[in-house]
Amino acid sequence: MGSLKIQNIRKSFGHVDVLKGIDLEVKDGEFVIFVGPSGCGKSTLLRIIAGLEEATSGEILIDGKKVNNTPPAKRGIAMVFQTYALYPHLSVRDNMGLGLKQAGKPAEEIKERTKIASAMLSLDDYLERRPAELSGGQRQRVAIGRAIVREPQLFLFDEPLSNLDAALRVNTRLEIARLHRQLKATMIYVTHDQVEAMTLADKIVVMNKGRIEQVGSPMELYNSPQTLFVAGFIGSPQ
């Protein structure tokens, strides 16, 4: 479970057409990466999938079911942003478990899920710390942990590593790849970083000015870019 179908999604803010008809299918368990210049509509599309923004027209289907009118908390989706937005006064444990607590889950279950997620992310020894006592990479792992404890079928990542330094980016990227194998969940991931895109993706979606330019595996895009824009963006030798 965790397949996604995007059908002719359009979004305008006032007179500005930000998404101009997006069609895409994501299979259960796929790792799909969105790349494209700043302002091309990547975050808006993720927010529409998550239900944080309403499309002007078009449909979003999760596991074949139309979710346009389903509230974000009921879509089985977890979103990880570039800014971690942790609560400074709460411990790592409580930051990770807060969403479950608000959803009314029993304390024992929250404890168990937090334990599993923190083990996956090597945060076991940090559960009683506050965010200020963690490194940037650890804080971002807490934000990922907060998503994992909800056991979503579908993860949305919006440039999750762009605030980290180069070494931490590599580590956290490898960790996300491992999580993808382990959880077998569907992941949709926005990045500016070609290396991230080429190494993580089953499928790369290249966006430009509110449209999809090309969809393909990293090698397909590299070897046969269909437009100069894609060639330039992927760094193909032509």
Binding residues (CB under 6 A) for ligand ADP: these are 13, 18, 36, 38-44
- Nearest distance in Å: CB 47, ligand ADP: 8
Q: Write out the binding residues for Mg ion, residues 43-102 only, by CB under 5 A.
A: 43
Measured distance CA(50)–CA(151) in Å, rounded? 15
* Smallest gap from residue 235 Cβ to Mg ion (A): 21
State whether residue 126 is helix, strand or coil: helix
Query: What's the min distance (Å) between Cβ of 89 and Mg ion?
Result: 28
Binds 13: which of Mg ion, ligand ADP, none (CB < 5-8 Å by kind): ligand ADP
Name which of 126 and 233 has its Cβ closer to ligand ADP. 233
Q: For residue 182, give the DSSP letter.
A: H
* For Mg ion, the closer CB: 33 or 100: 33
CB of 43 to Mg ion, least distance (A): 3
Nearer to ligand ADP, 40 or 79 (CB): 40
| Cβ-proximal residues to 2 (8 Å cutoff; 6+ apart), any chain | 28, 29, 62, 63, 76, 152, 153, 154, 185, 186
Hey, what are 226's tokens?
């269909």
Nearest to 188 by CA among 172, 175, 174, 204: 204
- Which of residues 13 and 87 has its CB atom nearest to ligand ADP in the complex? 13
From the list ligand ADP, Mg ion, none, pick the one residue 38 interacts with, judged by a Cβ distance below 5 to 8 Å according to partner type.
ligand ADP
CA torsion sign, 41 to 47 to 48 to 49? positive
